[in-house]
Structure 1
Amino acid sequence: MCSNSYKNFIRIYSSHSRIISRYSHLKTKVNFLPYNAIPAARRLPIIGTTLDLIAAGSAPKLHKFIDGRHQLLGPIFREPLGPAEIVFLSCPKMMRSVFLYEGQFPAHPLPDAWVIYNKKHGCRRGLFFMNGEEWYNNRRVMNPLLLNGDEKYAKKLTLIATKRLIHKWKELCENSSQYYEVKNLENALYRWSIDVILFVMFGDTYNNASPALLTKMEEFSKNIYRIFEDSSKLMTFPAKIAEFLNLDAWKQFETNVTTVLELGNQVMDQSMVEFSNGDGMLAMMLQHGMPADTAKRIILDLIIAAGDTTAFASIWALYCLASNEQIQNQARSDVCNNEDHKYIKAIIRETLRLYPVAPFIGRFLAKDALIGGYEIPKGTLVILSLYTSGRDEMNFVDANQFIPNRWLRNESGELCGVHHPHATLPFSLGSRSCIGRKIASLQMQSLIELVVSSFRLKCLNDKPVDIILRLVATPDSEVKLAIKPIE
């Protein structure tokens, strides 16, 4: 996958990094190249490299376009996208070094359409949209609850929602001895993913939710799915121009977001009444002194985010399992015979390596940085190319193959088939890493365990399913999953 020049660059850079680290205490001056020396493709006046991106498939194929740039220019390059120039990285060592320069209050890029909407309507949002001290103070409250909390309790609540889904699927195919194709898999996993968050946020008491609240929640879930579709449409056209011209794509997005936030606030207001004294995350947030309004905003954004991210990560995992009977059987054996379920965890890790839900992770540098042998000024947007690094033969043996066993350590404690484990960072690193990573992992684990122990899986797609970007990495065609109950 990588050229000899690319390999030589990595070898030289690794040696360079070791030398800097060894002699940094001596304040040795090292000559780094200036920012303008970072490789960049030829560009045209005014429009830059826009025509190249359009030819590659525009925003939905951005991961392929950037991957092609890495093959041409190496593990670090500059590219003008939108109004600013961005530095892209695919070398694991360089990617990790970015988090040394993110500062106390890490800042990341946000979807233009959402930023414009929030500003226009004066919306205050959850953790993802917070910055500075507001983000820092609320993240400090959420870390012990979501990342260091009681895993057994979170797993119990996750299982409740997952068992509901499995029960529905069993009912659908109980009158058939053949494989049953799951209709609207995307919708089913979208709702399941939201249900998991609701159970974790509201606890066991969510089982006793009033009929009125459940009806409102169903309407809320359907509209969340719609705004995901609307957001993805605005990826292919500048949201600022779409809003200025009041195009149909913008009007539909604006209308549906307004509906979702109104419904979400109604749901949260009623939940505050029904669950604030319950045993879920909401009650804990309030007990830690978080204002009710802030708790509402954070939970609402977690619910919205859960539908996009974990649902599609789970679709990719089921697609990989359904496409490989041997791996499916090994997963079933792991569930039956091993308490630690290491192979299930390896399946999740391998899925997120090949199909990172967020193929790009970005940070605005909080200070001048020295990365990859170059000086990069403060304020520069640096993006980690996880799609490229995860499929690079320099980082993984048979990088384009789905091989969960690569994540199982041998008797010597080594990983076979993994040269650089940190070439895949599905939940990011640093203080602004994914706040929901623990719940997402438990959620995917419970789904895979219950699915493989309850059903045999078959993929009915005629050709391989590839990635297309719709804010997150989604299938470019519907994943056709067939299930057959195990006797």
Structure 2
Amino acid sequence: MEDYQVCIQLFLIWLISTIVVRAILTRNRNNGGHHPKNPPSPPSLPIIGHLHLVSSLPHQSFHNLSSHYGPIFQIFLGSFACVVVSAPEIVREFLKTQEYAFSDRFNMLSSKDNITYGSKGMVFAPYGSHWKLLKKLSMSELFAGRTLDRFLPLRREETLRFLKGLKKKGEAGEAVDISGELLTLTNSIISRMTMSIRCCEIDGDDLDDSKMIREMVKEIMELAGKMNNVSEFIWLFKNWDLQGMNKRLKKVLERFDSMLERIISEHELVRKEKGEVRDLLDILLEIHEDNRRIDGIQFTKETIKAFIMDIFMAGTDTSATSIEWALAALINNPHVMEKVRQEIDSVTANNRLIQESDVGNLPYLQAIVKETLRLHPVVPLFNRYSTETSIICGYEIPPKTAVFINLWSMGRDPKIWENPLEFRPERFLGEERQLLDLRGQNFQLLPFGTGRRRYPGASLALLTVPSTLGALIQCFEWKVDGNVSMEEKPGSGLTLCRAHPLTCVPVPRFGQLSYLGEN
């Protein structure tokens, strides 16, 4: 018993000493004359830092803190030093002027190597030759213009299948969970483009594959975005997995790996028998089987698996969530819905379904997508990780600092947007505002990021999101009871999901669905 008390006393002495020394060093550093100062910071607690100030909606917590500490401030998630930014001019400094120092990503899971097969994926990989190879393949193979054109009939086929399903349920007066239906659609498109499997086949193994992929994506996105993970941020509990997140992650990844091994084996068999290239996986296998080194990098099966995982993480849930937020906003703003419907009807002449090629002629529809991503960015916070010391706005940002860009906060800043809480697509009309695009050049609106780490699938998203939303507007009236809640779901991880599923009856518009049988 006496030994136990001595240990407790020693621990308390050590803890108090650490706090005092840290306070002295911090004060000396900030008041050291010629030394750059740290960004402003709220008072912190020992051990946990500022974790107590971060809710299950961290972008909202950071937004509230920025109102007190300004558009750049520092916090500590346990022992991790972080800087939060919510002003376009400061974001430009981080992501353009000094981009090279902030080209890595901060991952909040110590088990990230499991997610990325030993850092072989692109999403969490450090900036370097391996990451450059995967980015190059993304841009030249999956998301290149010729590839997107080749898969256009596939996307059209899946969209028609999706609309016919809604039509059938609408004619029966059946309420539909739009979130689930949209996730099925986007998952089917990515699955077929990547691995030639369709989401939710009636028979065969594709149903299990689809469920596995969807569960994996949701769980990974949720776990990867947790900011209240005690085991990850507090060094004292580093190996304890108190909240069971690593255990959950391991279980999901084992299922995913087993599924992917089987799909790869099936593709290898078909390639031996027929030698045909059907999808991205075939292209990746061709590189692997030739035992080629691209830019000095060996392309292993683990690289293929990590690459496929990245595509599903970045491309399924995000597009579906964007469309759902947009449709919910339109239901709550019927005058906007009617205005864009008239625009679509005028372009399609009321005799065909909207196509991806029509999007360029639908400025109001494009404005709706921009307005949705301003108010409800699918990834409200994206991050970078510093690799060297930088001076930003007179503040010193040391190496190994996580930088969080709060897109959600910038979208609600009255200094940037007039009446920012109002859903008003008209703010993106007019010659000057139409030039404000979503491709990473306008730092007040960065739904796909910018620079080296910009999401390579932005081109696909900018085709599928407006065209799918346009088809939902063109083909159906949406019957709901009262207004649709726009509350955000706490703890949803990296993506900003709705707290309540969008459930409504899709009432077919008279004369608008006769062409759904066309190929």
Same fold, judged at TM 0.5 (above): yes
In the TM superposition, 1:364-403 aligns within 5 A as 364-403=385-424
CA contact (8 A) 1:323 1:458 kept: no
Counterparts of 1:170 and 1:318, CA distance in 2: 17
Q: Which has the higher mean CA deviation after the structures are superposed, 445-454 or 126-135? A: 126-135
Q: CA deviation at 1:321?
A: 1.7
Q: Which amino acid aligns with 1:196?
A: I
CA contact (8 A) 2:120 2:306 kept: yes
Cα deviation, 1:303-353, whole Å, max 9, x if unaligned, reads: 243333222222111211222111111222222224422222221111111
Aligned: 1:52 with 2:53:
yes
CA contact (8 A) 1:162 1:447 kept: yes
1:457/1:448 CA distance change after superposition, 3 Å? same
1:432/1:51 CA distance change after superposition, 3 Å? closer
| Structure label with greater radius of gyration | 2
Q: CA deviation at 1:214?
A: 2.5
Question: What is the aligned partner in structure 1 of residue 193 from structure 2?
Answer: 200
The CA RMSD over aligned residues, in Å, is 3.4
Counterparts of 1:104 and 1:146, CA distance in 2: 28
From 84, 98, 116, the equivalent of 1:101 is 98
Aligned: 1:223 with 2:215:
yes
Question: What is the aligned partner in structure 1 of residue 7 from structure 2?
Answer: none
Counterparts of 1:358 and 1:88, CA distance in 2: 15
Question: What is the aligned partner in structure 2 of residue 434 from structure 1?
Answer: 455
CA contact (8 A) 1:368 1:376 kept: yes
In the TM superposition, 1:198-277 aligns within 5 A as 198-202=191-195, 212-224=204-216, 227-228=219-220, 231=223, 236-240=228-232, 241=237, 244-245=240-241, 250-274=246-270, 277=276
Aligned: 1:299 with 2:308:
yes
Q: Which amino acid aligns with 1:224?
A: M
1:111/1:337 CA distance change after superposition, 3 Å? farther
CA contact (8 A) 2:47 2:79 kept: no
Structure 2 counterpart SS, 1:192: helix
**Count of matched residue pairs:** 440
In the TM superposition, 1:147-166 aligns within 5 A as 147-150=143-146, 151-166=148-163
Counterparts of 2:469 and 2:320, CA distance in 1: 12
Cα deviation, 1:328-386, whole Å, max 9, x if unaligned, reads: 11222222224422222221111111111111121123433232232323432222111
Question: What is the aligned partner in structure 1 of residue 378 from structure 2?
Answer: 357
Counterparts of 2:507 and 2:238, CA distance in 1: 46
Counterparts of 1:46 and 1:126, CA distance in 2: 32
CA contact (8 A) 2:109 2:224 kept: no
Counterparts of 1:317 and 1:376, CA distance in 2: 37
Question: What is the aligned partner in structure 2 of residue 10 from structure 1?
Answer: none
From 131, 138, 155, the equivalent of 1:135 is 131
CA contact (8 A) 1:356 1:387 kept: yes
Counterparts of 1:409 and 1:274, CA distance in 2: 52
Counterparts of 2:401 and 2:40, CA distance in 1: 15
Q: CA deviation at 1:86?
A: 0.8
Counterparts of 1:105 and 1:283, CA distance in 2: 34
Aligned: 1:321 with 2:330:
yes
Question: What is the aligned partner in structure 2 of residue 22 from structure 1?
Answer: none
Cα deviation, 1:75-95, whole Å, max 9, x if unaligned, reads: 111111232121111110111
From 171, 175, 182, the equivalent of 2:172 is 175
1:239/1:316 CA distance change after superposition, 3 Å? farther
Q: CA deviation at 1:393?
A: 0.8
1:269/1:311 CA distance change after superposition, 3 Å? farther
CA contact (8 A) 1:105 1:135 kept: no
Counterparts of 2:270 and 2:321, CA distance in 1: 30
Q: In structure 2, list runs of 5 or more residues that go unmatched.
A: 1-32, 348-357, 511-519
CA contact (8 A) 1:190 1:225 kept: no
Q: Which amino acid aligns with 2:76?
A: P
Question: What is the aligned partner in structure 1 of residue 64 from structure 2?
Answer: 68
